[in-house]
Amino acid sequence: MKPFMTLILDTLKVFLLFVICTILFYFGLQWLDQNYKSFHKYEEPDDGAVKVFNPEGEKGPVDGDGFQRLLQFLRNGE
């Protein structure tokens, strides 16, 4: 009977440790979420940043026909 009680006690210890770690992980995620709510990923720059664009006559690497884009995709190994 003694080994059976020891087994149950050890199982309860592991279960309690699992529950405590899960609760700590959950509240850690909640804390991180609260800290990053005010963080805006796409803020406008404060300095005089230059907008990047393609002039009307030029084609970028994405604007070609489908076959050329496929060849470039295979050539670059992506």
Residue 60 belongs to domain spanning: 2-39+52-76
CA separation for the pair 54, 64 (Å, rounded)? 13
> Is 63 a member of any domain?
yes
> Is 45 a member of any domain?
no
Residue 33 vs residues 1, 24, 25, 37: alpha-carbon distances, Å: 48, 14, 12, 6
> Is 27 a member of any domain?
yes
Count up the domains in the chain and report the number.
1
Percent of the chain with pLDDT over 70: 76
CA separation for the pair 28, 37 (Å, rounded)? 14
Residue-level pLDDT at 10: 95
Question: Mean pLDDT in the chain?
Answer: 82
Q: Which amino acid is at 37?
A: K
> Is 34 a member of any domain?
yes
Per-residue pLDDT tens digits of the chain, which is 78 residues long? 788 999 999 999 999 999 999 999 999 999 999 988 877 777 776 777 776 666 666 665 555 577 777 887 888 876
> Is 62 a member of any domain?
yes
Within 8 A by CB and 6+ apart from 68, the residues are: none
